[in-house]
Structure 1
């Protein structure tokens, strides 16, 4: 899962002149005193990437020349900040920051910071990847705004640590038994204890609150009086926290696929699982209207029963294909059933193939969707796109549930029973047992500044009801996206035009259609 996974140097050496830096001084009297001991930006040369690395960043072949041109415009540097803001004169760490200056400097409106997902995702190249190269509509944001990217502490080119532990071993295929679940739980507990004890002074400072303070330190170092915020997934929670800590430094904020205003992992899993099963109802109806193509049933109910039956059948008799690394069991079928609408056609075809599969090699669509490992081998020289240590530390530092085994096992059994088509895709809902560091939770505050909360009606990674909960907690205007695709708003040109218009004028409509359902 993108923002709670159960789940990237840096302009010429020396200070590069920029209009926003002229006469810049640190703002005094910050509500959270985050700027104590903040340095100016230490500008450096930006990284040089090979074509292979650029492709690994999901840049299309025809976009590579444009990417290279934008890299020549990009300014890269670091800002030194306190590891612990309660001890501003103590240990310092570096935050890697990038800036893509407004193309129309004469009509510049300010700076917009891109807040990445995760926690643990890199935002270093987001000015290029999430804005200018996304589509023509989104690129217009860079006409009158500087676009600011950064790697949060613990990620990418910023100061980080990695836990000296190996990933947890693979699960046995087939239905999850209590004995196997206990082994998973015990292994997670031991790994968490080892990780959390490896560098508690650093890991204990990996919190959303501190990342927000780092961002305000970046704002000061750049000489900006205020920042506009464009947040995605976990970045929406970061935006909420930043806005709560620094309302006087926050201009317009657009948050896409809104996180809940709380940080309990058990509740997160419960709500997401319910939303995934609901959305499968939409998928089932779509497949039923195309029964001649997929053969999974002529009504949504028949499709649901057929897929649930397929989950049970593959849990009872998992299938190992010679050309797949993972065996196909009920969890793999359930994974297909919870795909969003952009993948309904391929997922439906894969499930149809699994109903009749007999050979030793995987059917073509099954191999296409389930054949690649979750984490491929990094391309040499590629920037880090996700730091799993930071993901774990932030999640567990802020998770007050930290369920014991008996509670987690009961929750899992209930989840699978209630959600027969998609429930098996989730696994045991535990992430933080044994995490040795204390719970630290941010305090959200209602603000009067401009805030747009973009909620997607049918998605499960950021449940739509969380958008409504967040509005009740901190205010804002709800912008409804009528799709099930996580953080799709800026990818769809019609929606992206609304986003850019909002930052330029402060006005926003009620929503957009989002990603189209396949015909």
Structure 2
């Protein structure tokens, strides 16, 4: 922390559903501006600049930093970056239609520009989700690679936990109940049980604290971000967002067009797309990208033995899916069942993992019908987590809030599907994507969500905007990028890989991104993560 700021003791952080009112602040204003408040209180308070309460940053152990991908030899460098990080929180209205009513807290960080003499402004960053924590994202970007670190040369990097996440006010819903399905093909009976459990959780979460849970929307988070901009004293704010962070950026730009300087949105999510439409588009993109993987494997048949043509490889994988669905077996050392879904997941890895995924498929081919026992090496490496979220070390920031993800998604999605249409859509995806369809999950979406959909208004503006789409990506299919451009404007930047949100992870793309924020200029694309 810098010593020029008046610091307050750090309060307890991350309390569930914590609320505050700005009574003390309003009382203070009244004592100073008594006559003005008495004659026109709404105008005086409305025009008051929001304030960030800067505090001491949390202290993180080596274990926390190592879990964020910092190697031991870089721990001193990481500590030096954290010494520069400034942490605070800002009060924002629970309901922006009642701006002086109940308030919630949003946690904010700032990593000041290294070159203050040539400083260009503040650059807010968001990692996506929805529900992802951005509190330490400025630190992560500086530590990622040399090109990414240059963002901090001339910009103050602004991280924040959106309302509902991490150190900000969070909902008290718990995690959605999504237990693992039984091995083998999903039956209609099991799917109905999963649907009923998910719908019941949705209903319970929405009713836990409907005022707060109903206020978890992309539009409200965009308004929170603009209060951060005003509190920082910035006339305009630049923005970098990934995945759902692109939706946040589009909404922010539409609501506050005069408050945006430069905006780069990576792995663009189509605004307004529903849960079912998202699942359909992702399933099709996954099958499409497997065709590339199959060609790659066929060209290396001597090493993997899966087929000499892409069609042969596809047929081999389909046969494996059927074989393992007919006779699933337990990998006793990792507690994971080998079934058709596991086979399909091996076939859907992005190109960074094609070598290990090819080895895993070869291992699965050579062990069809094997009894329960330890997993082969590549299968163990890729499936060892069993689909579970990684363990978060004690004292680490909450990386993701799944309840907030569900709330933001369902508050913006008007669909509340019945079981029959959900099951029919799942069966259709399996039929249309015969190789990789089993990698997808059956989901009830927003069934049972008790709160009304709040569909925000989408506005285009003339401000500087770059929409970055990845040619072969599956989580944010490429076609969403030009479709978004047709809605909101901007220019398309194409990354020639299949890796979600990789624009700042590879040197050639990161150089372009940094150059854009420094000059406002950028070309039409980059190579991205190379195919092995």
Q: Does 1:354 align with 2:364?
A: yes
Match of 1:387 in 2: 401
Shift in Å, 1:428: 1.3
**SS of equivalent residue, structure 1 residue 461:** coil
Task: Return closer, same or farther for 1:438/1:11 CA change in 2, 3 Å cut-off.
Answer: farther
Match of 1:19 in 2: none
In structure 2, runs of 5+ residues without a counterpart are 8-44
Q: Does 1:162 align with 2:172?
A: yes
Q: How does 1:9-408 map to 2 (within 5 A)?
A: 11=2, 15=6, 39-129=50-140, 131-164=141-174, 167-357=177-367, 358=370, 360-373=373-386, 374-408=388-422
The answer to whether the Cα contact below 8 Å between 1:155 and 1:387 also exists between their aligned partners in 2 is yes
Report the structure number with the largest CA radius of gyration. Answer: 2
The answer to whether the Cα contact below 8 Å between 2:177 and 2:197 also exists between their aligned partners in 1 is no
Specify which of 448, 457, 462 is matched with residue 448 of structure 1. Answer: 462
What do the CA deviations read for 1:70-92 (whole angstroms, capped 9, x no partner)? 11001110011111111111111
What do the CA deviations read for 1:163-214 (whole angstroms, capped 9, x no partner)? 0466333211100111111111111111111111111111000000000000
Paired with 1:103 and 1:44, the residues of 2 have a C-alpha distance of: 21
Specify which of 482, 492, 497 is matched with residue 496 of structure 2. Answer: 482
Paired with 2:172 and 2:378, the residues of 1 have a C-alpha distance of: 36
Shift in Å, 1:354: 0.8
The answer to whether the Cα contact below 8 Å between 2:172 and 2:208 also exists between their aligned partners in 1 is no
In structure 1, runs of 5+ residues without a counterpart are 1-9, 17-33
Paired with 1:165 and 1:369, the residues of 2 have a C-alpha distance of: 25
Specify which of 401, 417, 428 is matched with residue 414 of structure 1. Answer: 428
The answer to whether the Cα contact below 8 Å between 2:145 and 2:507 also exists between their aligned partners in 1 is yes
Paired with 2:425 and 2:408, the residues of 1 have a C-alpha distance of: 23
Number of residue equivalences? 491
Q: Does 1:516 align with 2:516?
A: no
What do the CA deviations read for 1:424-470 (whole angstroms, capped 9, x no partner)? 11121432110101101221111101100000000010110000100
TM-score for both structures, normalised by structure 2? 0.90
Shift in Å, 1:262: 1.5
Paired with 1:165 and 1:426, the residues of 2 have a C-alpha distance of: 20
Specify which of 500, 520, 524 is matched with residue 506 of structure 1. Answer: 520
**SS of equivalent residue, structure 1 residue 298:** coil
Match of 1:436 in 2: 450
**SS of equivalent residue, structure 2 residue 391:** coil
The answer to whether the Cα contact below 8 Å between 1:263 and 1:400 also exists between their aligned partners in 2 is no
Task: Return closer, same or farther for 1:432/1:58 CA change in 2, 3 Å cut-off.
Answer: same
How well do the aligned residues superpose, as a CA RMSD in angstroms?
Answer: 1.6
The answer to whether the Cα contact below 8 Å between 1:37 and 1:88 also exists between their aligned partners in 2 is no
Match of 1:3 in 2: none
What do the CA deviations read for 1:10-56 (whole angstroms, capped 9, x no partner)? 9459547xxxxxxxxxxxxxxxxx97776311000001011001111
Paired with 2:423 and 2:472, the residues of 1 have a C-alpha distance of: 27
**SS of equivalent residue, structure 2 residue 88:** strand
Task: Return closer, same or farther for 1:289/1:438 CA change in 2, 3 Å cut-off.
Answer: same
Specify which of 454, 460, 463 is matched with residue 477 of structure 2. Answer: 463
Paired with 1:467 and 1:458, the residues of 2 have a C-alpha distance of: 12
The answer to whether the Cα contact below 8 Å between 1:165 and 1:195 also exists between their aligned partners in 2 is no
Paired with 1:60 and 1:308, the residues of 2 have a C-alpha distance of: 40
